[in-house]
Amino acid sequence: MHFNPKFKKIKNKVLGKKYELDLILADSKLMRKLNKEYRGKNKDSNVLSFSLSPSVGQIFLNPNFIKKEAPKYGRDYKTHFSALYIHAILHLKGYNHGREMEKREKILWRGI
């Protein structure tokens, strides 16, 4: 799979160049396990992000889930994948769901 070349630029802009980020493609089985273990939700997920330290984090993306979910949001697969990547990056930065996060997502989206 080829990632959007701007992903690194977005990561550096939001989290900094020294931030170590693992981007992991996961299947539904692993996503369900992680979601249950860390969020108490026994269901599949499109994306999960974990801050391991102030300078290290992980983003798990589920390509099959994202592909199925994309039309629901009026997006193609690549667009939805990119939007979820941005969403996860902002969670790693400390943003929670809400207007401020949505505003920041829109700003970053313009950069793609």
Residue ranges for the known binding site for Zn(2+) are 87, 91, 97
Kind of pairing, strands 20-25 and 56-61?
A: parallel
Q: Are 61 and 80 in contact (CB under 8 A)?
A: no
Residue with tokens 């070349």: 5
Which residue numbers belong to the known binding site?
87, 91, 97
From 66, 63, 58, select the one nearest 23 (Cα to Cα): 58
What one-character-per-residue DSSP string does 75-111 give?
A: --HHHHHHHHHHHHHHHHHT--SSHHHHHHHHHHHHT
